[in-house]
Chains A and B, each alone.
Chain A
Amino acid sequence: MLDIAFKNIKRQKSRSILTILGIMIGIGAIVTLGSIAEGIDETVQNSLQLSAGKITVTEKGSGFFGFFGELTDEDIDTIETISGIKDIVPVLFYTENTVSLQGPEWIAIGIDTKKGEYFVGENTEIEEGRNIEEGESGVAIIGKRFSEKYGLEVGDFWEIKGKEFEIVGIIERTEISDVDNSIIVPFDDLKEALNTDTFQLIYVVPEDVKDTERIAEEIEDASERLDTLTSKDLARQAEELVNRIRGFTFGIGAAAACIGGLGVMNTMIMAVIERRKEIGVMKAIGATNTMILKQILLESALISLIGGAGGIILGILGSILLNTIFVQTTPIVTPSLTITGMGFALLLGLIGGYYPAKKAAELDPVEALRYE
């Protein structure tokens, strides 16, 4: 009786449209906000690939990713005493002009140039120009987004704290924000520009990946001020973080959608009151209570599913809009997000429609027929 359900929805056009809009906005919110969580997940997963097989050493209590840490050459000496280490790579970060919603506009990374692959990933290629050569000074390679944002090309200059760097290469797009938004310069140059002896993190690369956990433990045992993160720890922490963001965004979206669900309930209650006599007629001509229940539920589910489909389109548009605001992350509408949106819409329709449907099914046919 889908055709009849459609006809009934079309009867009160403006009311149905408003109800559908309510669901659309709710589901749109779930999808848009969800796309941010999915985007963050994607970014984190990409970043995690970089840390695979190495240990990130930070100063204890120095904040997320050791951003406020102050590690020194002494810490490198401590780590060097441990066996089974292939490489130790100190990394220095510098940012200015942090915009809260978008994150830092750019990141300067000081790294030993011949070990730069530990930061940008082994398979990342230089798209234009060349890499920094060993022993070079006053040169930089930059990420794709950084170059696009500031219109920089090979041969241009960029100043960090009064020290000029000539851009010699542009790194291909990686979709890892820490790489795409950065300017990578020789470690000693950045230390000099910032006039500092400390740095925020050290990558420790084991000779054998199987030794990762052992080396991490030994580093922590060797110095009380050092914290280690293996890729396993990072993955776990990242998953926790992403799940929290996912839960939070879904919560906000779901709250909006529930208000839409109340709209469905209200619309269906009105419809049942208005069509009371018709429900009596349906019963008189042989419809059972279950048939009436199903018919009303079908109508409310239909309203919600139309709203849900509209909400998904709205959500995709919303995520495209957000994409222009967020630089660090690209919001992604995944198939599972779409299914969640439609599933939630259907659930709202069924829950919102159940009470009025039950009321309709339980109507006494004699009373309903005499209703004016």
Chain B
Amino acid sequence: MNNIEYAIELKDVKKVYGKEEGLEYEIEVLKGITLRIRRGSFVSIMGPSGSGKTTLLDIMGCLLRPTEGDVFIDGIKIDKLNDNELAEIRRNKIGFVFQQYNLISALTALENVELPLRIAGKTKKEAGERATELLKTVGLSHRLYNRPSQLSGGEQQRVAIARALANNPSIILGDEPTGNLDTKTGKFILRLLRELNRKKGYTVVLVTHDERVSAYADKIIKIQDGKIIKEEKK
């Protein structure tokens, strides 16, 4: 029985890309990762390009199954779940924030935030109310009906954060969330995530190159060549 004191728990996780992915030879991207991320903590995973940090995030985000090892999200063992069960975990327990924001261009800010709620079966009205409230939380109540192309990078990332929070997940996973932003806006986004972590108790895990993130994190995990080389608690 796992202790659900941990939002995320990985035990000797390996990921090998090979024939299934259309490669002629096998590449071991993760070479036995074991880590625990405490509920309500703010963790930064850092490492150079090609170190396997994005693959690690994909596995933690239930987008990818490990080749070997156990993965627990909120105490649920996910490595044997089918596609629909994984989708359910992503829907209810995880919120994603991407470097490219990945908002849907045809939809307004409000509709983008409504989308995960609609997917979760909420009515248009319920979803609208919740989305409006979330956009207010991230300071965008004046931008509800703007499309992504009418918003600045920082605003788009705030919409993406509001979307990540829509179904009230326990974990927010960020893949280089400040990568496309200028220093000032990047700082603003990190502060916002930190505030959500502190005040609302979301577990935040960011994969990043950005050294500034360390100033906000409780724990920094450094990986290189698919292995954890250092864990730093602050």
Contact = CB atoms under 8 A, between A and B. Distances in A.
B63 A285 contact: no
A281 B91 contact: no
Interface residues of A, number: 24
**Chain A, interface SS category:** helix
A149 interface: no
B192 interface: no
A321 interface: no
B106 A285 contact: no
A287 B87 contact: yes
Nearest to B167: A286
Interface residues of B, number: 29
B84 A288 contact: yes
Contacts of B116: 285-286
B186 interface: no
Most chain B Cβ neighbours within 10 Å, of A282, A290, A366: A366
Contacts of B83: 288-289
A189 B5 CA distance: 111
A285 B91 CA distance: 5
B109 to A, nearest CB: 14
A285 B98 contact: no
A125 B138 CA distance: 83
Contact of B88 (A10, A286, A365): A286
Contacts of B166: 285
Interface in A206-254: none
A193 interface: no
Contact of B87 (A4, A283, A369): A283
B180 to A, nearest CB: 13
A339 interface: no
A43 interface: no
B53 interface: no
Nearest to A10: B106
Nearest to A285: B116
A285 B124 contact: no
B84 A7 contact: no
Contacts of A278: 102, 104-105
Interface in B85-101: 87-88, 90-92, 95-96, 98
27 contacts: A1-B118, A4-B118, A7-B107, A8-B106, A10-B106, A11-B106, A277-B102, A278-B105, A283-B63, A284-B61, A284-B63, A284-B102, A285-B90, A285-B91, A285-B95, A285-B119, A285-B163, A285-B166, A286-B87, A286-B88, A286-B90, A287-B87, A289-B83, A290-B84, A291-B119, A365-B63, A369-B102
3 closest residue pairs by CB, A with B: A286-B91, A285-B116, A288-B87
Interface of B: 58, 61, 63-64, 83-84, 87-88, 90-92, 95-96, 98, 102, 104-107, 111, 115-116, 118-120, 124, 163, 166-167
